[in-house]
Structure 1
Amino acid sequence: MTDATLAADLAAIATLRGSFLLRSGTIADIYFDKYRFEGDPALLRRLADAMLSLVPGETQVLAGLELGGVPIATAMSLASGVPAVFVRKQAKDYGTCLAVEGGDVSGKRMLLVEDVISTGGAIADAVPLVRAAGAQIIGVVCAIWRGEGEPRIAGVPELPVYPAFTRADLEGAAA
């Protein structure tokens, strides 16, 4: 399996054409439907393996962002043995009342796991929640960087972003 093969397989199953409103508020004519590759066990396993190759060695916890980052972080955790936690968009007002679920992350070096990033708004929203839980965020790994230019999160530009694939990778594979 090569990265080009995985990119082609992701593009084949997840690329939709039309008019799509993105979280960032922009309209795109190409959309990468993460649920199509996250729901395919064989493809999700291959993607998790590719993303694991990008994980910094000092990572102690993988943190899947609600909702699309959760299955990817889980698959990465199963494949690597690195514990996973799950970051809600906001803390629940019942049960544990936590924004970061799955274990104590205080003092741990955490890598955020996301599916598709255009501008990183969801990452920027999650960072204060994760920091409030006491974790040290060391970066972000994502399945697809669909943003412009070098991968970076405008709201937290100091965080390195490690994409498994870019929009150009998938568009080139689909051609």
Structure 2
Amino acid sequence: MTGTATGHLAVRLAETACVNGPFELPDGRVLDSYFDEYQMAADPHLLHDIAATMATLIPSDVEVLAGIELGGVPLVVTLSAVTGLPAAFLRRLPKRYGSKRQVEGPAVEGQRVALVDDVVRSGEQMLAMARMLRVAGAPVSDALCVLERPLGGRLLLDEHGITLRPLLTEADLLAGTSRAAS
């Protein structure tokens, strides 16, 4: 993390969205604390400030931002509003009725897409979405998130040609928690 503005965001996020207590991950691992993205998304001022800061992480050649359901959706909408880049919305599974789409929003074929999500842990979900977009003809080489937890995600994404660009790492958030408590 760099910059005073990002340090202030770490404190605000720690105060708003850090919850102590056991939290079970999809793979069965249990964390001592977790990041409640819904608390972050529910605060319009914080969400805007996060998006404005995250906008600096977007490579200049990105043409579409793609938010992963559910945590990436408020972020991608706000990032789209801040940057003027179109937003696409990614479902984990294709819709079972209506359009039956997995990608909603603008056409992504041939467009350079950056993935957007709230937290990256193992990187499995980001990788699955990148693969789906690549099959749809969209080059994906960047992923943005608010928080990177050190559970192997960066390494997995890197092995598949995807650069992870987090706003904060878990260490940054822990430092923000310490500053918020003082």
Superposed CA offset, 1:26-48 (max 9, x none):
11001010111011100000000
Residue type of the alignment partner of 1:97 = K
Q: Which runs of 5+ in 1 are unaligned?
A: none
Per the alignment, residue 113 of structure 1 pairs with: 116
Q: Note the C-alpha offset of 1:92.
A: 1.2
Q: Is the 8 A contact 2:123 2:152 kept in 1?
A: no
The 5 A counterparts of 1:1-175 are: 2-148=5-151, 151-153=154-156, 157-175=160-178
Distance 2:161 2:171 in 1: 24
Distance 1:157 1:172 in 2: 30
Identity of aligned residues (%): 37
For the aligned residues, what is the CA RMSD?
1.7
**Greater mean alpha carbon deviation, residues 57-66 or residues 93-102:** 93-102
Amino acid at match of 2:11: A
CA contact (8 A) 1:87 1:130 kept: no
Code of the residue aligned with 1:109 in structure 2: it is: R
SS at 1:53's partner residue?
A: helix
Contact 1:141 1:162 in 2 (8 A): yes
Which sits farther off after the overlay, 46-55 or 22-31? 22-31
Q: Which moved more, 1:102-111 or 1:124-133?
A: 124-133
User: Is the CA contact 2:119–2:149 (under 8 Å) kept in the aligned structure 1?
Assistant: yes
Residue 77 of structure 1 contacts residue 83 of structure 1 at CA under 8 Å; is this kept in 2? yes
Q: Which has the higher helix share?
A: 2
- Greater displacement, 144-153 / 157-166: 144-153
Tell me the matched-pair count.
175
Residues 25 and 124 of structure 1: CA distance in aligned 2, closer, same or farther (over 3 Å): farther
Quick one: distance in 1 between partners of 2:159 and 2:76? 21
Instruction: Name the CA shift for 1:150/1:126 in 2 (closer, same or farther; >3 Å).
Output: closer
Amino acid at match of 1:134: G
Equivalent-residue separation in structure 1 for 2:23 and 2:152 (angstroms): 21
